[in-house]
Chain A
């Protein structure tokens, strides 16, 4: 069972999408990641660099293409971050807009 753990590096929306995409495959070509997420080359390069520096992403050059893959620590960090997001979302559903008991507090 993955322990929920908020990860500041992964949480940025574009980086979360990059990680979510790469978690679903072994590796993916740069242009496929770019098109699937709908961002430009430069934006993907910038966020890939941040993830690579954090040790979450591997970049492999093969001829004229670049392949991206999540590292083991990247997968672990993503699993922890997603578990934390699910925990927060579930907590909100449990308590609802009126609090854990469903009461709105004393009237009057």
Chain B
């Protein structure tokens, strides 16, 4: 095989990947919808109706993913765990643990609900960063799997 045809084939691959990257833009409602479901789950834990709020989060997450697939025609790969996304996730976990300790250990009513606001905001930021990382990977050709 000639080097020129190898180079042309790789250029074709890069072009297709760039087109996919352009399509991998989550609609505005996806991250905000997920954030709203997370907030509702935290509020439900705080105000003792978790048996409705937590299952609702699972159903909402699955429903949002189905809607995303239907609207874009693409089922995206798993979110990219970039250092920033991991850091935001650790902050969210620490906030949740702290709020639970405050509410159930210290008797501070509504602490988990307040933490839910922060975690919901983190979900939007981390979700957008993850999308951006995935698009960047596709455009730069830096795929961890060698694809």
Contacts and interface: CB of A to CB of B under 8 A. Distances in A.
Nearest to A81: B9
A27 B78 CA distance: 11
A21 B16 CA distance: 6
Given A13-B12, A36-B20, A83-B146, A28 B6 contact: no
26 contacts: A16-B9, A16-B12, A17-B16, A20-B16, A20-B17, A23-B143, A23-B147, A24-B16, A24-B143, A25-B76, A26-B77, A31-B73, A32-B23, A36-B16, A36-B19, A82-B10, A82-B13, A82-B146, A83-B146, A85-B6, A86-B10, A89-B3, A89-B10, A92-B3, A92-B4, A92-B7
Specify the main secondary structure of chain A where it touches its partner.
helix
Interface size range on A against B: 20 to 34
B75 interface: yes
A29 interface: yes
A6 B13 CA distance: 15
B6 A89 contact: yes
A31 B70 CA distance: 12
Given A25-B76, A26-B77, A85 B23 contact: no
Given A24-B77, A28-B75, A79 B147 contact: yes
A4 to B, nearest CB: 10
Closest 7 CB pairs of A and B: A92-B3, A29-B73, A32-B73, A88-B6, A23-B147, A26-B75, A20-B13
Contacts of B23: 32, 36
Nearest to A67: B75
Contact of B3 (A11, A69, A88): A88
B20 A21 contact: yes
Given A20-B17, A21-B17, A21-B19, 9 more contacts: A16-B13, A17-B13, A23-B143, A24-B77, A28-B75, A75-B145, A85-B6, A86-B6, A88-B3
Interface string A1-22: 1100010000101001100110
A27 B75 contact: yes
Nearest to B13: A20
Nearest to A38: B19
